């Protein structure tokens, strides 16, 4: 092969590569997620800019993605730009988050065009995120030029027609509030007390010998005054507590809300696996899937109300943070 041919073929190769890589966008590894849950974003960088190495990657955090923490990357420096959120978001510990990381910058590394790499951050998808796409614009700064992955489709436009689409995460509808194992909830009941509405109480079946079980429901305050869920009873439990989930030392744990769970006027608070829940403690007997259990709930202002819990499958719904490892 003459030198000339070699050169010609490598040019041809180069062209093919450029054409192929133009199709490879910056994308998220996991492209669907539920609102009201943690999310790990893995941004996949398939190539540089026009054949040159990537030196910096910036990710913009959209509204509704809160409590963001970037994952440090060997060989890269990490910077975050923090700022105010578009509004106040409820989070674990009954915390109200008003600000946090809005942009992440990985810099000082060098990702050659012919290599692939991933940049990761963890965060929480706010419970009120609307189902549909959520865009995470990414900018790659390279030895020569930059690539901005920030195009967002206009209404009716096909995302795939975009030249440099922003990585998209599809927020899934929470049509089944209680996750799987919950067909029985179709005929769920609504209870009223004072200005409160309690919808579809349910509990999880317990494995043999379990001493605790979780109860879940939706509570809406239609009144003008805040109220609090402060307690309740079920006949088969020694104690009844109101719990929240909180991250402690990187591990999700549950703990008692000693002042109860506030339901503000006009608000609906959902008790669900992985979030607020009521806890039946010191169980005298287990809960079996399919049965109905009677109990009461006690509110600070509205007082006492009788409810019935439907018992769903063991582990039905989202996992509760690795079991009941509290107390
Ligand atoms: Cu609990």
Delineate the domains of the chain, giving CATH numbers in brackets. Answer: 18-172 (2.60.40.2230), 181-312 (2.60.40.1890)
The residue ranking higher by pLDDT, 318 or 72, is 72
The CA 125 to ligand 1 mean position distance, Å, reads 22
Confidence of residue 273 (pLDDT cuts 50, 70, 90): confident
The pLDDT of residue 7 is 42
- Could you give the CA distance from residue 261 to residue 278 in angstroms, rounded to a whole number? 10
**Protein residues placing their CB within 5 Å of the ion ligand 1:** 243, 254, 279
Distance 186 CA to ligand 1 centre (A): 25
pLDDT reported for residue 188 = 61
Residues 223-268 have pLDDT tens digits of: 999 999 999 999 999 999 999 988 777 777 888 999 999 999 999 9
Sheet containing strand 117-125, strands side by side? 27-28, 37-45, 117-125, 65-70
Region 265-274: mean pLDDT is 91
Alpha carbon distances (Å) from 317 to 135, 250, 273: 27, 22, 6
Residue (of 239, 279, 289) closest to 257 by Cα position: 279
Which pLDDT score, from 0 to 100, does residue 159 have? Answer: 76
Torsions phi, psi for 162 (to 5 deg): -75, 145
Q: Is 129 left (phi over 0), alpha (psi -120 to 50) or beta?
A: beta
Specify the DSSP class assigned to residue 177. Answer: T
Dist. CA 279 → ligand 1 center (Å): 5
State residue 5's pLDDT score.
41
Taking only the tens place, the pLDDT of each residue in 25-65 is 999 999 999 888 899 999 999 999 999 999 999 999 999 99
* Band (85; pLDDT cuts 50, 70, 90): very high
Burial category of 126 from C-beta neighbours within 10 Å (exposed 0-12, middle 13-18, buried 19 and up)? buried
Å from CA of 14 to ligand 1 middle: 59
Q: What is the mean pLDDT of the chain?
A: 84
- Angle subtended at Cα 314 by Cα 126 and Cα 236, rounded to the nearest 5 degrees: 105
Cα(187) to ligand 1 centroid in Å equals 26
Q: Is the pLDDT of residue 72 over 50?
A: yes
Query: What's this model's pTM, rounded to 2 decimal places?
Result: 0.51
More confident residue, 187 or 59: 59
243-267 as b/e, with b when 16 or more CB fall inside 10 Å? bbbbeeeeebbbbebeebbebeeee
3-class secondary structure, 77 = strand
What pairing do the DSSP bridges indicate for beta strands 32-34 and 168-172?
parallel
The pLDDT of residue 248 is 77
> Distance, CA 245 to ligand 1 centroid (Å)?
8
Residue 315: band (very low, low, confident or very high) from pLDDT cuts 50, 70, 90:
low
Mean pLDDT within 310-316 = 78
Q: How confident is the model at residue 174 (pLDDT cuts 50, 70, 90)?
A: low
For the segment 75-104, the average pLDDT, to the nearest whole number, is: 91
Instruction: Quote the tokens at residue 239.
Output: 């104690």
Is the pLDDT assigned to residue 1 strictly greater than 80? no
The per-residue pLDDT for 23 is 55
Query: Which helix (H) or strand (E) is 312 found in, with range?
Result: strand 303-312
Q: How many angstroms is it from 212 CA to the middle of ligand 1? A: 8
**pLDDT in the model for residue 135:** 95
Ligand 1: centre distance to CA 107 (Å):
42
**pLDDT given for residue 246 in this prediction:** 82
What are the tokens at 226?
A: 């805040």
Q: What average pLDDT score do residues 159-174 get?
A: 85
In the chain, pLDDT over 90 holds for what percent of residues? 60
Given a cut of 60, is residue 314 above it in pLDDT?
Answer: yes
Q: Residue 97 pLDDT > 60, yes or no?
A: yes
**Poorest-confidence range of 11-20, 201-210, 224-233, 306-315?**
11-20
pLDDT of 327 higher than 90: no
């Amino acid at each position: 092969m003459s030198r000339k041919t070699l050169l010609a073929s490598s040019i041809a190769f180069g062209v093919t590569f450029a054409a192929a890589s133009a199709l490879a966008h910056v994308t998220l590894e996991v492209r669907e997620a539920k609102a009201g849950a943690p999310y790990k974003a893995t941004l996949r960088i398939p190539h540089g800019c026009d054949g040159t190495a990537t030196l910096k990657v910036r990710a913009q955090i959209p509204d509704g993605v809160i409590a963001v923490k970037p994952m440090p990357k060997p060989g890269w420096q990490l910077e975050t730009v923090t700022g105010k959120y578009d509004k106040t978001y409820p989070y674990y510990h009954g915390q109200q988050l008003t600000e946090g990381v809005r942009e992440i910058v990985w810099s000082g590394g060098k990702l050659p065009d012919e290599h692939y790499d991933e940049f990761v951050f963890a965060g929480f998808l706010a419970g009120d995120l609307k189902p549909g796409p959520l865009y995470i614009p990414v900018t790659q700064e390279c030895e020569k030029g930059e690539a901005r992955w920030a195009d967002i489709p206009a209404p009716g436009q096909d995302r795939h027609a975009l030249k440099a689409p922003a990585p998209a995460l599809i927020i899934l509808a929470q049509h089944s509030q209680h996750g799987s194992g919950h067909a029985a909830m179709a005929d769920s009941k609504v209870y009223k007390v004072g200005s409160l509405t309690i919808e579809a109480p349910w509990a999880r079946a317990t494995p043999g010998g379990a001493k605790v079980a979780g109860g879940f429901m939706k509570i809406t305050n239609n009144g003008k005054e805040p109220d609090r869920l402060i307690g309740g009873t079920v006949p088969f439990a020694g104690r009844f507590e109101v719990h929240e989930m909180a991250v402690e030392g990187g591990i999700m744990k549950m703990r008692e809300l000693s002042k109860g769970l506030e339901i503000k006027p006009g608000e609906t608070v959902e008790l669900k696996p992985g979030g607020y829940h009521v806890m039946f403690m010191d169980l005298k007997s287990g809960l079996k899937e399919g049965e109905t259990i009677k109990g009461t709930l006690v509110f600070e202002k509205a007082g006492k109300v009788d409810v019935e819990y439907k018992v769903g499958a063991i582990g039905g719904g989202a996992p509760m943070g690795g079991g009941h490892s509290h107390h």
